[in-house]
Amino acid sequence: MKVITEERLREIFEAESDRGIVSVKDLLNHELQEIDTLTVSQLRPMSDAPIDDETILCVGERYNTFLKVYFDGVYYKDDHDDLYDKEYFIGWIPMPIYKPEKE
């Protein structure tokens, strides 16, 4: 995945802000970095989790790992039909979607 990391944005902004306001177009003209890890620093609160059958990734309060679950109307269920209460999780993110670049 190619991205402009926060660190790189700060470097670009500091280097070019002396010349005036840096636009988004200017930032996008810089080289993108290839990353192999997606890091999430903030989770959405469980109070905002979808209550339909949408699959989401939740982080349990015991372990800092993601668990793919969906809400069945009463409990959150994983792929093995294990049941979890909302209180088991500290937060969630939407399920990532793979969208290949068009050639």
Residues 6-62 pLDDT 10s: 777 777 777 766 666 566 666 666 655 666 777 788 999 999 999 888 999 999 988
- Domain ranges in the chain are 2-34, 46-94
Compute the average pLDDT of residues 54-82: 92
pLDDT for the residue 26: 62
Q: Which residues contact 62 (CB under 8 A, 6 or more apart)?
A: none
pTM: 0.64
Q: Is the pLDDT of residue 92 over 60?
A: yes
Tokens of 16: 């070019």
Cβ atoms of 59 and 92 closer than 8 Å = yes
Q: Is the pLDDT of residue 66 over 70?
A: yes
Cβ atoms of 35 and 3 closer than 8 Å = yes
Compute the average pLDDT of residues 75-92: 93
Compute the average pLDDT of residues 63-73: 90
